[in-house]
Amino acid sequence: MKNCRACQKPIPDDARFCPFCATPAIEETFDCPNCGTENDLHAPACSNCGLLFPTPKKEPPKTKLNDLFDTTHTDNAEQEMADRFSLAFERRLKEEHNPALHSAYIDRFYKSDFRSSVDFRIKQLGEQVQHLPDDQARTKLTTPAFEELLDYFMVRYCEDLNEAVFPEAILKYQGMTVEKISPGELILTYLDFDNEQETVYTDFVTMPANKLKNAAQNFLSPQKGESIYFICDLSAFGTCKDGFAMTRDCIYWKMPFEKKQRVYYKNLEDIKRQEDWITVNGIFFNANKTLNIKLLRLLKKLRELYGKG
């Protein structure tokens, strides 16, 4: 208990006002240097003698994520590119990384030499976008450029912070179009099944016939000529009645107690992390925590390659 500063009656410690005289309860006080009267810490003047108190200095604002680059760019296009990169960085952290570590990623960016590489790329893009007709064209150029920069940063500089470890081999696909890649190789590189505990089949000749049949009956229904790259068994008892598979054109999956699903890469739109699972075009998917993160990044890459980025 504490005493009211006006009537001196005891009032609860957490009271905002005195229940007896309605005087506001002051949490922090200081004495007037002129008359010694106790005043609210934030009072503009003494309640007794009227002495004006100095206005406290405001703390400088903390650096926000969209201020990763000081506003020293004299060229408007360069500043626009810096802002776009900052927003892309913020979105990547929000969508794919542990919120508790966001400040650590930002600190890593500031302390690494990667920032100078990004600054150089921003200058390049600033020159390029000046010749583009509208914002849509600028977005089409800058979005993949910034995603590739962030991939490089996350793989090369943040391995100890990442929840899922991506092999450096994914970086070799930067700047490549869908015509120049092997989709199966890209998919297996991103998912890196060698470092996962799930049961995965890539050789369907040696795969147990009953499991292949179960996968086909429960979730895998490719079109004629549609190459299958793998089948991942997510069933509780190894029956392959639940799981997921990826082909040349599509991802197929079935989660326990859920309906079978499929989404063609050309139709990929909304890919989000939801706590420890993900959603693909709003549909639930869950393998395991690290594999979910790898698939999230892979599907975003496929969305970019197939024209939905």
State the pTM of this model.
0.74
Q: Is 170 domain-assigned?
A: no
Q: Are 297 and 284 within 8 A, CB to CB? A: no
The residue range of the domain holding 291 is 183-305
Distance CA 106, CA 110 (A): 6
In a domain, 173, yes or no: no
Domain membership flag for residue 165: no
pLDDT tens series, the chain, 309 aa: 667 767 777 776 655 556 666 566 655 677 788 888 877 776 778 888 888 877 654 444 444 555 555 444 446 889 999 999 999 999 999 999 999 999 999 999 999 999 999 999 999 999 999 888 888 888 889 999 999 999 999 999 999 999 999 999 999 999 998 999 999 999 999 999 999 999 999 999 999 999 999 999 999 999 998 999 999 999 999 999 999 999 999 999 999 999 999 999 999 999 999 988 999 999 999 999 999 999 999 999 999 999 754
DSSP class per residue in the chain? -EE-TTT--EE-TT-SB-TTT-PBPPSSEEE-TTT--EEETT-SB-TTT-PBPPPPPPPPPPPPGGGSS-TT--SHHHHHHHHHHHHHHHHHHHHHS-GGGHHHHHHHHHHSTHHHHHHHHHHHHHHHHTT-SSHHHHHHHHHHHHHHHHHHHHHHH-TTT-SSPPPGGGGGGTT--GGGS-HHHHHHHHH-GGG--SEEES-TTTS-HHHHHHHHHHT--PPTT--EEEEEE--TTS-SSSEEEEESSEEEEE-TTS--EEEEGGG---EEEETTEEEETTEEE-S-HHHHHHHHHHHHHHHHHTT--
211 and 148 in a common domain: no
Residues 187 and 298 in one domain: yes
Task: Please tell me whether residues 187 and 270 are part of one structural domain.
Answer: yes
Q: What's the total number of domains in the chain?
A: 3
Shared domain for 70 and 116, answered yes or no, is yes
Residue 122 within a domain? yes
- Say whether both 110 and 48 belong to one domain: no
